[in-house]
Amino acid sequence: MKVRDCRGRFWLSVGAVCVAAWGSSAMAADAAKGPVDSAVPGQTNTLQLPSGSNAAPQVSGTIQELRDRIKNREVTELRTTYNGRYGSSLLFYPADMNYYVALFHEGQFWRVVKLPNEKKAEALYADFVRQTQTLADVEIRRIKLEAQKALMERQLAASEARLNAIQSDLAIQREQEQQLAQNQQAVREQAGALETERNAARLRLVDLQGQIRSLENAQNSADSDLMRSVKASSHKPAKRHH
């Protein structure tokens, strides 16, 4: 609840916050569709005053009268209280020492009561403030629930996005794991084939090395026989001719 207490002389102008922007009579009639009877030209206002108050009901035309005096800057705003989009104001008309107690919704006058007694005006103002608080409670609850709903919707959207991201990552991970398993199997098969080929090549190498050693041994043996034969031939005596 927001309260403004204007003790000095503060002239209200048309279009100002709280009471100056209240529109035409047709708009005021539309705004009168609330739980409290509105002041409509040609009808009599009946206001439920606080207990102990003997103020008489105000006749029609008080709303327009207050509008005109606001327009002409003839009244001073003493107090204004806001509850949500509802509000109540206490205004003073110094020319005849009367008070105006106004109830409004979204800047449109809803109820206006003119009283000559300050205490009764203050009591009625307090009652109007309580009415605005009661009227605003449902709207304030709606505003909070709307904000909570919007927050939950944002959280839901974020959670769904997170879930989709995790599902996407998991799908990619599983695909990669499947490809990795296939690659691992292919590598194992290749390694097995290479090991078989290596063993075969090793056996072939051993065989070839054995053949080489045999041939080398045979070659070495032939060379030795040749050298012995050459040496033996060189040591034989030459034949003499007679």
Share of the chain above pLDDT 90, in %: 42
**Residue 70: both structure tokens together:** 């606001």
Query: Which residues on neighbouring strands pair with residue 114, listed in sequence order?
Result: 100
Domain chopping of the chain, boundaries: 2-153
Contacts of 94 (CB under 8 A, 6+ apart): 76
33: number of Cβ within 10 Å: 9
In 3D space, the residue among 17, 13, 1, 227 whose CA is nearest the CA of residue 129 turns out to be 1
Share of the chain above pLDDT 70, in %: 71
Give dist(CA 39, CA 28) in Å, integer. Answer: 9
In this predicted model, what pLDDT tens digit does every residue of 132-144 receive, in sequence order?
999 999 988 888 8
**pTM for this entry:** 0.47
pLDDT of residue 238: 60
